[in-house]
Structure 1
Amino acid sequence: MSGWTTIWVLIAAVAAGSGTWFATPKGPNQVLIRSSTLLTLTCCYVMWAIVYLAQLHPMIKPTRSDVRFLDE
């Protein structure tokens, strides 16, 4: 598990966005379809990356509350 996974998923998201950009059919709703798809891909990637990186490098070290210390 490393931070490189986020780079690979970013490359996949950019490839999907590029494919959508060129595969969108011509018509009056072309801009709407492109914008919606790219915005959806961007939001999904950013949410996934934040959750993945937060689990990969937590800011607070987890502690178990059911463990007894020997000091007591």
Structure 2
Amino acid sequence: MANGWSLIVGLVFIVAFCGASWFLAPKGDDQTIWRSSLILSAAACYLMWAITFLAQWHPLVQPQRNDIRHLH
């Protein structure tokens, strides 16, 4: 069931993943690239999911049925 808590739970999960990515990134010359890649991809995935979720949860255009016969 879709509710407002889905956004918050998803955000908490992404923040935890980003924190883990920051501290658990492999040490070495490419550590900055690993951190940036993981954190940016997680943030982009969350934003895409959240925008899609909200667009379906509160649509801007209400669907209309065409199979209803109008009586004059």
TM-score (norm 2): 0.90
Q: Structure 2 stretches of 5 or more lacking a match? A: none
Cα distance in structure 1, aligned partners of 2:71 and 2:51: 38
RMSD in angstroms over aligned alpha carbons?
A: 1.0
1:49 Cα deviation from its structure 2 partner? 0.2
Q: Is the 8 A contact 1:20 1:34 kept in 2?
A: yes
Q: Which residue of 2 aligns with 1:34?
A: 35
Provide the C-alpha distance between the structure 2 equivalents of 1:60 and 1:4, rounded to a whole number of angstroms: 24
- Dislocated runs of 4+, deviation >4 Å: none
Return the letter of the residue paired with 1:9. G
Q: Deviations over 1:44-72 (max 9, x none)?
A: 0000000001100111111112222233x
What are the superposed Cα offsets for residues 7-64 of structure 1, whole Å, 9 maximum, x if unpaired? 1100001111111111111100000010011000000000000000110011111111
Structure-2 separation of matches of 1:33 and 1:66? 54
Highest RCO, 1 vs 2 (Cα 8 Å, sep ≥ 6): 1
Which residue does the alignment assign to 1:16?
A: 17
Percent of matched pairs sharing the same residue: 45
Aligned pair count? 71
